[in-house]
Amino acid sequence: MSRREILLGNEAIAHGLLEAGCTLAASYPGTPASEIMGALIQLKKRYGLSCHLEWSINEKVAFEVALANSYAGRRSAVSMKQVGLNVAADPFLSAVYTGVKGGLLVIAADDPGPHSSQTEQDSRLFAHFAKAPVLDPSSPEEAGNWIGAAFELSERHEIPVVLRPTTRICHGRQDLETRPLVEVASAPLFEKDPARWAATPKFRYRLHEELNRKIAAIADDEAFAPKLLNPDALEGRERAGGTGRDCLVASGVALAHATEILQDLGLWNRLPCYQVPMPYPLSHRFRDELFRTCDRVLVLEETEPVIELQLQNRKKVLGRTNGTVPSAGELLPETIEAILRDFAGLPQIGGVQGSVGAGRRPTLCAGCPHRAAFFAIKKAFPRGIYPGDIGCYTLGLNLGAVDTVLCMGAAVSMAAGFYHAYRNAGGKPRPIAATIGDSTFFHAGIPALVNAVVQDARFVLVVLDNSTTAMTGHQPTPAAGRTLDGKPVPAVSIEELARACGVRHVTVGDPYRFDHFVELLKDAGAHTQGDQGGVAVVIARRPCLMDRSHPRDWERRSVIVNEKCEGCAFCIKHFECPALELQGEGQPIRINASLCSGCGVCVHVCPHGALQLEPRK
């Protein structure tokens, strides 16, 4: 029996997967996709389902686990944020050639804006590159409801199908109809076919030809064919006269915004609006019909011109390629309104602008152990080079303790690159202290560390181990000793892994024990400079304060501001703890007791000794 619930977009996707009989879902956490797996595990517990769910060590592994389940004839899904698809690119592109048996849905959540990502890349373009069909929902409801048909499309053409929600879909809420979840009872069946599943280059060429035939057939598959949302507009356009044979083509959230704005501007019954649920491959029949019946076609889509590039008529098509639509940034409602006003010849109320980023500067939480570790790194290596990585600890940038941020695991390999650059130039070596989070270390840091060791690099790698994947919602790491549903499993030791990678100097310290931690760092730095030295790993271990699953096992100490404080704000500029507040120019700072965690690390920060621990009573 169906029911109605107000669901987050990611929850709607989770419902859709289980309503469609998905038997395995794997993921690596990353905003805006993280809540999909969280919702799946809640549904599994609530209804006692037997499907396998896992937080994999990275997106590539997650993809391969899901693909094998599909080869065995069972519906599978893998979810990730858009940059995760880069990590999974190798198996993704190959799997499009081999094809699938059970439906395989690749959920790549994009982040136009970007709100919490290092790129604005468009997974639809990635799907185009891979020759995989991609669906672009315009609401949480569509994201959830399309999944059953997406699995059928995948099985009908034996090809992975990409579902590409964006941040506004993943994190938007909507009143939705949910249906009973489906528990699949059939046994897996893997049929051996080495020419397909283990194809050599000769067979891959044949698979490519087969893939081309599949894409041509999918383009005209009616399941996700473009549709006219306002048929009355065809007649209204003629009655209005003088507007030419114009139409709007849109997909994703841009479509959702555009439909509301068209109604507000009184254009809904005058300007035909087509939704493109599947931007790639674009229906050939739809393309030909547009060019036969329209003089001008405005295309609204995020973020790249995927639909537009398949409409090969530069005289009729307006969009990102000719500057009608901004070439970067999220298409916010005000941006779309300005574009539509221009297109319809209506007076403007403002110019066409791209989106702007959020104004507030993000910062580490009060009492975050990463802040203490970063301050210690700067104290131990004051003229160091600080390669950083992806995670909440990227905010070490604010503290001057992160010089580079590229992608998952790059801190380790870039540290090695800096070492080789200075060594080969024959100059005076500079200390190099790289930072990487515990989850990121498991994700992509290990191969880079092995490479650094065997290439004889020398630097200090600080693994910021807060015992969770903090930035995306506290998912367990392989060191947690439990799966996402709490089942006990072997815990993987970071220090043993580092030693197994060939690192001979591995130490573990608590950044709250500030002076001791600085000494650990200096010892590690000395190892890198010694005759028999190499890479040194220091594990900064202190659980995330926001993760309530860990006990708060430190002695909370109150900090007081004494008469030496002259309000120079050194502590605020260089430590940036939210609990430290300015009162005014030249005034002593104050401690916000409601924010202070009582870690006491800030007493090591003030060069004048103006911060001190309150004496024990």
CATH assignment of the domain containing 251: 3.40.50.920
**For the domain that residue 530 is a member of, what is the CATH number?**
3.40.50.970
Please check the confidence at residue 415 and state whether its pLDDT lies above 90.
yes
> Domain ends where: 200, 219, 238?
219
Assess if residue 299 is contained within a domain: yes
Please check the confidence at residue 357 and state whether its pLDDT lies above 80.
no
Please check the confidence at residue 419 and state whether its pLDDT lies above 90.
yes
Please check the confidence at residue 240 and state whether its pLDDT lies above 80.
no
Number of independent structural domains in the chain: 4
**DSSP states along 416-454:** HHHHHHHHHHT-PPPPBEEEEEHHHIIIIIHHHHHHHHH
> Domain ends where: 491, 512, 541?
541
Q: Do residues 435 and 399 both lie within one domain?
A: yes
Assess if residue 133 is contained within a domain: yes
Evaluate whether 300 touches 250 at the Cβ level (below 8 Å).
yes
Residue with token string 């690119």 = 89
> Domain ends where: 344, 377, 410?
344
Tell me whether residue 565 is annotated as binding: yes
Q: Do residues 333 and 433 both lie within one domain?
A: no
Assess if residue 359 is contained within a domain: no
Q: Do residues 272 and 412 both lie within one domain?
A: no
Tell me whether residue 247 is annotated as binding: no
Give the domain extent around 204: 3-219
pLDDT for residue 3:
87
Q: Which of 139, 160, 164 is nearest to 218 (CA)?
A: 160
Please check the confidence at residue 361 and state whether its pLDDT lies above 90.
no
Tell me whether residue 568 is annotated as binding: yes
Q: Which two tokens stand for residue 299?
A: 């295309």
Q: Do residues 269 and 215 both lie within one domain?
A: no
User: What percent of the chain is predicted at pLDDT more than 70?
Assistant: 97
Tell me whether residue 392 is annotated as binding: no
Residue with token string 């790194």 = 377
pLDDT band at 546 (very low <50, low <70, confident <90, very high): confident
Q: What is the pLDDT of residues 290-326, one digit of tens each?
A: 999 999 999 999 999 999 999 988 889 999 999 999 9
The mean of the pLDDT values for the chain is: 92
Please check the confidence at residue 358 and state whether its pLDDT lies above 60.
no
Q: Do residues 523 and 570 both lie within one domain?
A: no
Report the half-sphere exposure of 454 (CA within 13 A, side-chain side).
7
Q: What is the pLDDT of residues 427-463, one digit of tens each?
A: 777 899 999 999 999 999 999 999 999 999 999 999 9
Assess if residue 549 is contained within a domain: no
Assess if residue 255 is contained within a domain: yes
Please give the Cα distance from 236 to 233 (Å, whole number).
Answer: 5
Assess if residue 91 is contained within a domain: yes
Q: Which residue pairs from 523-526 have beta carbons closer than 8 angstroms and sit at least 24 positions apart in sequence?
A: 524/460, 525/380, 525/381, 525/431, 525/433, 525/460
**For the domain that residue 568 is a member of, what is the CATH number?**
3.30.70.20
Q: Do residues 92 and 136 both lie within one domain?
A: yes
| Distant-in-sequence, close-in-space partners of 364: CB < 8 Å, separation ≥ 6 | 370, 371, 392, 393, 395, 396, 398, 576
Q: Do residues 589 and 531 both lie within one domain?
A: no
pLDDT for residue 485:
80
Q: Do residues 178 and 290 both lie within one domain?
A: no
Q: Do residues 214 and 231 both lie within one domain?
A: no
| Total residues belonging to the chain | 617
Q: Do residues 57 and 164 both lie within one domain?
A: yes
Evaluate whether 181 touches 43 at the Cβ level (below 8 Å).
yes
Q: Phi, psi at residue 105, to the nearest 5°? A: -110, 125
Assess if residue 605 is contained within a domain: yes
Please give the Cα distance from 71 to 207 (Å, whole number).
Answer: 16
Please check the confidence at residue 360 and state whether its pLDDT lies above 70.
no
What is the average pLDDT across 507-514? 96
Assess if residue 349 is contained within a domain: no
What is the average pLDDT across 187-202? 89
Tell me whether residue 606 is annotated as binding: yes
Q: Which two tokens stand for residue 530?
A: 């010694």
Please check the confidence at residue 359 and state whether its pLDDT lies above 90.
no
Q: Do residues 520 and 451 both lie within one domain?
A: yes
| Distant-in-sequence, close-in-space partners of 180: CB < 8 Å, separation ≥ 6 | 1, 2, 19
Please give the Cα distance from 449 to 60 (Å, whole number).
Answer: 19
Evaluate whether 461 touches 385 at the Cβ level (below 8 Å).
no
Evaluate whether 116 touches 31 at the Cβ level (below 8 Å).
yes
Q: Do residues 148 and 12 both lie within one domain?
A: yes
**Which of residues 495 and 202 earns the better pLDDT score?**
495
